[in-house]
Structure 1
Amino acid sequence: MESALPAAGFLYWVGAGTVAYLALRISCSLFMALRVWGLGHEPGVGPGLGEWAVVTGSTDGIGKSYAEELAKCGMKLVLISRSQDKLNQVSSEIREKYKVETRTIAVDFASEDIYDKIKTSLAGLKIGVLVNNVGMSYEYPEYFLEIPDLDNAIKKLININILSVCKMTRLVLPGMVERSKGTILNISSASGMRPTPLLTIYSATKAFVDFFSRCLHEEYRSKGIFVQSVLPYFVATKMTKIRKPTLQTPSPEMFVKSAMKTVGWKSRTNGYPVHSLMGTIISTLPSWLYFNVIMRSVKSTRARYLRKAKKN
């Protein structure tokens, strides 16, 4: 009995320490959330960084919403996306609504030979903000070897999700360093925070974006450059196939309005209060529990998609 007392005491302090650590972590997260989202402060972007902002994947969803928020801050815009028709429409809407100059570049980020065209189009512009938003996911969760047209999917996911971020940063960063100011916002995903099976390539490419952003921020923050990794959970966009916004799945406009408040404050963010809370909770789960939960979720989504496809 006496020999069991020290062991019981040890386990008590381990448990108490764990609870205290989790309580402290959650308290810090809540304090930061209050500081960022609850208290008003000036936007972390604007023409003072450089009069132009560049947004990739800017004709829909999160990218379009970032373009609009940057226009509200008085920044001129270079909108880059695949469809010239959509670019013309969004460009005209933003120009008329916010009274800012806009330019467009129509390219397909699935290709590798587009960057000379982009470089030429951006030449001479003082770019203060770059939003690397363009991205591609799966049509539905699927096992790696069963992904339709796997070789092409691998190439497109890497080119769009990884190569575009590196190449666009390569084009824009030198001017920011020369002026000792600038902001780069890289749109990753919550699936890049922890591995997401059945979305394996997507999850891995978004993890790259997160790591790339965090490393770049540490390399260049002393030179006046702020680099942010944005890791949203589900947002009601065409890519997620969620049509109706909810508290948990906000509209792109709501998400970006919230995420913009974190610029200059947090170099890594889920961008939205509810998503931030979800990220804090999920990050505390042990791996075995996390993988058990996530596998059930993606398998269920896969099964629903395949049943629907079979009926059609």
Structure 2
Amino acid sequence: MGEVFQEFFVFVGLLVCLVYLVKCVRFSRYIVLHFWKVLPRSFLQSMGQWAVVTGAGDGIGKAYSFELAKHGLNLVLISRTLEKLQAIAMEIEQTTGSAVKIIQADFTKDDIYENIQENLEGLEIGILVNNVGMLPDFLPRHFLDSPDEIQSVIHCNITSVVKMTQLILKHMESRGKGLILNLSSGSALFPWPLYTMYSASKAFVYTFSKALQAEYKAKGIIIQVLTPYAVSTPMTKYLNTNVITKTATEFVEESLNYVTEGDEICGCLAHETLKIFLTLIPSWALYSSTFQKMLQNYYVDYLKQNIKDK
């Protein structure tokens, strides 16, 4: 019996070593790709003539629109504010020569998809970027103290991903190729108190994307979920950029290096490194009232400083 237990523990030890070896190899690839772009420039264009970007009016969505246009794709930009879409479309057409269609849609509503589908008819869509999302409140708050926007968050962060994927994936399947990038969040990787609704909605995107990739990978379709941490955008009140907090353009340019690197990425090397450190912190520390208070104080001070600077 003693020998059986000994062999079992040796097997478990070897298995753990193998898991960490795989993680080390994967992380080393991020380091290589951070400094050396190996993805052929024509790869994204080979997916199809058109790319669809939701939430294209600002931040990460806007950055994806410009970057994909630089790679030779035509764009369908979908967002709520028509004036922003028109300005971005004009700039993309003038600077890159790509064709741009715009669709005005409010993703906090659920009656928009028939119109979107009609406007996408006949387009060879090779890339879908499910970027649109909303943060109910930038300040961390307890659930009952948060703005009562539950249905809007569900429609914008969850329904939009499911419905847009449903509209476009079937055409990708018939063509045997396509790329879907779903923007989740680092807060989806474990429950994030004080951002409960946002964290939970992004966890749905994370799980939905990984399960979908398992279903459609063999059919030639790449479905990748991105779990970034801090990116300076209007939604995050233009957080001050640093080694960890990226501009939207920096994040997008780097994230496109990793589109063939698996079903889940953070999107940039800095955030992959941060994820590793966060997994070392015990959950009791993250969920403690002390940590939550520190988080609240940090963002309150940040907003006060921003208002003072303006």
Instruction: Give 3-state SS (helix, strand or coil) of 2:222's partner.
Output: strand
Are residues 1:30 and 2:22 paired?
Answer: no
Tell me by how many angstroms 1:126 deviates: 0.7
Give % identity.
Answer: 39
- Between the aligned partners of 2:116 and 2:126, the Cα distance in structure 1 is 16
Aligned to 1:200: 196
Tell me by how many angstroms 1:267 deviates: 1.6
- Between the aligned partners of 1:301 and 1:24, the Cα distance in structure 2 is 36
Answer whether contact 1:54 1:130 (CA < 8 A) is retained.
yes
- Between the aligned partners of 2:61 and 2:127, the Cα distance in structure 1 is 13
Answer whether contact 1:79 1:103 (CA < 8 A) is retained.
yes
Aligned to 1:249: 245
- Between the aligned partners of 1:177 and 1:268, the Cα distance in structure 2 is 21
* CA pair 25-289 structure 1, distance change in 2 beyond 3 A: farther
Aligned to 1:216: 212
Answer whether contact 2:56 2:78 (CA < 8 A) is retained.
yes
Tell me by how many angstroms 1:43 deviates: 4.4
Aligned to 2:68: 70
Structure 1 portions without partners, runs of 5+? 1-12
- Output one character per residue of 1:203-232: Cα deviation in whole Å (capped at 9) or x when no partner: 000000010110111100000110010011
Structure 2 portions without partners, runs of 5+? 1-9
Answer whether contact 1:45 1:129 (CA < 8 A) is retained.
no
Q: What TM-score, normalized to structure 1?
A: 0.87
Q: What value does the CA root-mean-square deviation take over the aligned residues? A: 2.7
Q: What TM-score, normalized to structure 2?
A: 0.87
Tell me by how many angstroms 1:82 deviates: 0.4
- Output one character per residue of 1:149-208: Cα deviation in whole Å (capped at 9) or x when no partner: x2xx10010000000000000100010000000000000000111111010000000000
The 5-angstrom pairing of residues 137-286 of structure 1 reads 137-139=135-137, 140-148=139-147, 150=148, 153-286=149-282
Residue 83 of structure 2, aligned match among 85, 106, 125: 85
- Output one character per residue of 1:19-55: Cα deviation in whole Å (capped at 9) or x when no partner: 9689646633431213432332124842321100000
Residue 111 of structure 1 aligns to which amino acid in structure 2?
Answer: K
Residue 99 of structure 2, aligned match among 98, 101, 112: 101
Equivalences, count: 296
Tell me by how many angstroms 1:294 deviates: 4.9
- Between the aligned partners of 2:76 and 2:267, the Cα distance in structure 1 is 23
